[in-house]
Structure 1
């Protein structure tokens, strides 16, 4: 069985972190995890210490990209075969880990936990940005990604090396698009996600619009023309 690390970036998640980690420990003890406390200003780090959780405590807030890259570097340096990006707010459901692992073992480099692989995407203002990002990825790579903004993503060993040793690699749709263009195999698995039950997401309406616009422009105007400055660890393998 592949050695998996669940990476849990956490910023001001004192109301959720205990529930999320305790559920993983109780129901899925076969998987290792690490909490990346991203310079939280609340009691997230204190709660992790009190409960004896495995934690990397960043002294300042690096943002999701920095926290995520920290987790993948930890995974790469400690001999893990793959890693899963897992939200600290309780929206990601661990029962989908095994189906994602199965897809990884079938040859995928990245597996996305997709809300819309077999379920129709709502036609709402909230989903408009997701539609546009999916369109941009398909235009630039030829591949359809049904849920490009899903934060539940699994990465194989080659991707651990890729993300942990290169700059400007955030866990975002534009990076996924860039990696597809450079030969990475990306697959999706249908999942359901819960709703945040406590705390407040940093993505309000204005920030959501800004995020979708930034991702779309990055895919169309930057990642499409971006050249690799290092040799790909996965380009030479047979797929």
Structure 2
């Protein structure tokens, strides 16, 4: 099935890499496995994965630095799969742009469910034609290319994680969105790491939208309640 999502697996333990590949291929995904960051980065010149599963304990590269690069240069969903179980490790990974963080050892069913949640766009049920471009204020968001085009015509790339948050706001303009609703729409493990990741992604979106951090006009914080997106939105 050539149109099945392609999942890149960066894991230096061959048994774990094999298990991940077998589980995902059994569920209909295509996979490519890599044991080192160098060979993975070389392959990215020729392939465009839909999601990347990244271990942090790589023999030739800091996994967190790689996650940050993928988040800024790739439109792929990024899921860290690591034995590092400290809250700070999870928070740091999500702050650097990962979409989710799974702790080893993991249940294959959990890996599959979390991957599907990250690949499933939050608007797939409400907008079946999957319109990919939205206009608001003086901005254009292109979700196929993961780009924001500003008033002067300059393009600014956004990560997959930032795009999910922005799409959530654009699908719900002028409506208060609570933290609980954000978790329901975007998925994830919840808790402190989710809250911190959302704060970071919203802060980055505000920066890319050239918002005044002290008085943002597009994404407003309603303290104790959630967030609200104030602009009118036109999809095309």
Q: Where is the strand percentage greater, Structure 1 or Structure 2?
A: 2
Q: Which has the higher contact order (CA 8 A, sep 6+)?
A: 1
Q: TM-score range by the shorter chain?
A: 0.3 to 0.5
Normalised by the length of structure 1, the TM-score is 0.35
Normalised by the length of structure 2, the TM-score is 0.36
